[in-house]
């Protein structure tokens, strides 16, 4: 899903690599053409970068959120502002930390490798290590943070929506506490996956324009854009507003699965820690 989504996002008339009549006509055409040319493994181009950064990304996201949630509870923020607002603020900050520390270099590497395999791509990267080395030689450390502005903006917005949405859906699924103050039962695994998946899907649709701008700034010809605003203006001028939603279908599918799994694991690990240490590491 990620490969197809990114290829569709990068097919912009404003791009120096725009393929014209040779471009991918739809997500299905993209998948079929890639498999025909490069085999099934072609759909996983850039996937190793996601696998390497997957653990650190989740650790930073959920670790930051839990730390901020504990701090906000101590300071009475949940009582003053309400849990949904506190979750939104903490999720926003967690998303910024994840994007700045992990997500940006992860996606710069993956997107350049995917763009390299587009219909007009130069086919210059032999693999992950070669791509990393090429970025280093061309731009140094700064090359791994190309497009960091929209990446941080998107990361903050998506996580604010996800943590808020998951928290609201979780409380709805659990029901109210007992009359004697007994907390509601924990979510079943399938409930956590569904709540997380729905929250993730909503966040994907809401932030797709930012994600498209980010992808194009991280692409092989991303250096031609002076800023996120310049990139947005160029994309819209050449292809209209609709191009900002390119690839939204595959992204929704990928995010629904990924975020559903992440939140179900988050719930499971939280309960395991509660049992191990005999204290509540997070509230219902």
% of the chain surpassing 70 pLDDT? 98
Q: How far is CA 226 from CA 144, 217, 266, in A?
A: 16, 9, 39
Q: How far apart are CA 87 and CA 100, in angstroms?
A: 20
CA dihedral sign of residues 151, 222, 13, 40: negative
Q: Considering all CA atoms of the chain, what is the largest pairwise distance in Å, rounded to the nearest integer?
A: 67
What pLDDT, in 10s, does the model give residues 143-196?
Answer: 999 999 999 999 999 999 999 999 999 999 988 877 777 778 888 889 999 999
**Single pTM value for the model:** 0.84
Q: What is the per-residue pLDDT for 233? A: 96
């Amino acid at each position: 899903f990620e490969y197809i989504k990114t290829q569709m996002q990068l097919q912009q008339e404003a791009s120096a690599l725009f393929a014209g009549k040779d471009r991918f006509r739809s997500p299905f055409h993209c998948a079929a053409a890639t498999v025909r040319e490069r085999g099934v493994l072609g759909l996983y181009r850039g996937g190793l970068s996601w696998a390497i950064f997957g653990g650190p990304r989740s650790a930073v996201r959920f670790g930051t959120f839990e730390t901020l949630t504990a701090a906000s509870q101590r300071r009475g923020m949940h009582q003053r502002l309400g849990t949904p607002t506190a979750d939104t603020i903490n999720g926003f900050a967690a998303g910024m930390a994840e994007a700045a520390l992990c997500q940006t270099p992860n996606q710069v590497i993956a997107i350049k490798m995917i763009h390299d395999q587009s219909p007009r791509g130069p086919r210059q990267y032999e693999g992950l290590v070669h791509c990393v080395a090429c970025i280093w030689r061309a731009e140094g450390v700064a090359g791994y943070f190309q497009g960091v502005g929209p990446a941080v903006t998107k990361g903050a917005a998506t996580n604010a929506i996800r943590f808020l949405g998951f928290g609201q859906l979780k409380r709805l699924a659990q029901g109210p506490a007992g009359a004697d103050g007994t907390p509601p039962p924990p979510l079943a695994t399938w409930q956590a996956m569904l709540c997380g998946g729905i929250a993730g899907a909503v966040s994907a649709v809401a932030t797709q324009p930012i994600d498209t701008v980010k992808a194009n700034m991280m692409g092989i010809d991303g250096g031609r854009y002076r800023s996120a605003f310049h990139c947005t203006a160029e994309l819209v001028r050449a292809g209209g507003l609709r191009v900002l939603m390119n690839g939204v279908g595959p992204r929704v599918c990928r995010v629904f699965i990924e975020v559903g799994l992440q939140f179900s694991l988050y719930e499971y690990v939280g309960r395991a820690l509660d049992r191990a240490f005999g204290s509540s590491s997070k509230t219902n």
